[in-house]
Structure 1
């Protein structure tokens, strides 16, 4: 039996514990790195990736010389050229267009993947998985094999690729929608099925090509490559990707509304059908232009948005700029690996991204299945 003194002490201790404030919980968003710091780190990583991409290759160059060449090109009077003249040719004429194109395509694919995942409200949406890249490839190959030129040698495949990607996206969306509803499984199956059909049609066209050199170059391009980058091929992709990113950022608030569902977005004043149609045209244009200059490079638009959301959350005002920076860095480094891992042979860029994206897609499917099972 406890003494009265011990009983009073125990009662006082219990009352103190009851009134003591509970420890504060830190939400996942509060544990994330601050957004400005993320942008600074990714910007620095992009600069490092560009310098490394320019320095490493069949002829390795000192990074200090590469940096000096770039500074001298922008500010001619700042640095006296003390490097061999061949370095200028290697950096400025051979490697820089390739690095810039890889960065633009990586940023564009990441932004398109981010927008598609919001537009169809599906985390598995990606230009490659939904067959949009295959449709763009079919359109471009059709023009290249037939030899038609209406708007110029570069613009014509881009227009054809844009038409192919637009028609494919509309077909996938129509096949996946039933009674106004669209499931993850139906969307992926429709995209994969159309992708196989369009790829088969592309192969059929290639089998009828009479020019063996054209056939070889198209097959290499179809697997994804920026090896053919030249200064004259950069302006159109740069304009389309930068303008597309600007429009997506401008509409980031509407993309955020779609995260709550179509009914909620409509209640808040968004014309969902009109907005989605306009965005589909935009992402089709961006995909078509990128496929026309680099071929079908898959899984970048799937992996990067998910990695970015783990860093900065789901707000598209933050996700889109971050995804563009990370996507550009990733594809520059992937292209560097493609041309150095098996040197002097070059691995197709799309093969490397598929090797990275395939396991990621399987992991994403398993996580999606666990979430659906937990919601039941």
Structure 2
């Protein structure tokens, strides 16, 4: 199909052999790797759902007592510290902020209508995030007041945001950020809102997924001067590692019929594959950035930070995709005496898996085995739609 929209050249592929060697630790990659020569270039890091369950809030209270930091005795910084080296290294870092925030002192709520500590926004900014998508199935959990309070909190923390809005004027203004001299737009949409309806007198409150609306948002961003447009989309079936038929159909239509340069997906709470369609990378699901479901499945603790290197060549954007497997350590329940099993982790911590295995000389055998499983299972998922042929690989391989 011939399009008048901005073209994109295909990334230079790498062979499966090179991929396997890198994964095994030979020629291990790092965040200091230089993109190939060309025109303007920048990097993007994007991660999955941030969903604060009660156990994570209690961990933040425990950590605040140890650090002496945090507002109202809540400090999320130690929990997220493991991914700061990656997130802070990117030229543009994109989070997905799923819940509604409450007041600093609470009360807080969990599923089905989340109300979480606003202190989390300070940590998101501190570890290096620049902007967050705010359209999710929980956006309307607490109505117009919840949307307003959440966006005010992100503003206060110094985070950009898109997907929900406090006014028609705010909704109509595309979010465009200057990234190393390149104007990068982010747009955000969600499939639905858990039975809550968008108020008829405030149709701009949150973006509901619709192909025509997505295409129109991209056109508006281009008209406002965007060189690159990134779509954050809340879609798919929860706990399904494979993208649904509707994800595949919509993702491919967006890739083929719009000029959107990158699609990053959330909502499934488990990692889903990436694939390249007509020159556009689609990350169907990045899993959880951090969450603590009542019944962890093993897969819900695993996540991915997508790492994308944009380089302009001949007037088109070449995008190379990499990924960073992550894992949320969850302490087991104590026994009847209140003690944890010997060798068990004691705190909820978000881990960069490859970095933890490389640097963690004090890891237990159980941790090493679990982290390796997370890395290898994530790799299998990432590549199961043929992305190896288009160059998808880990940002850093496993150590030998």
Q: How high is the TM-score relative to the length of structure 1?
A: 0.26
> Which of the pair is proportionally richer in helix?
1
Which of 1 and 2 has greater Rg? Answer: 1
Higher RCO (CA < 8 A, seq sep 6+): 1
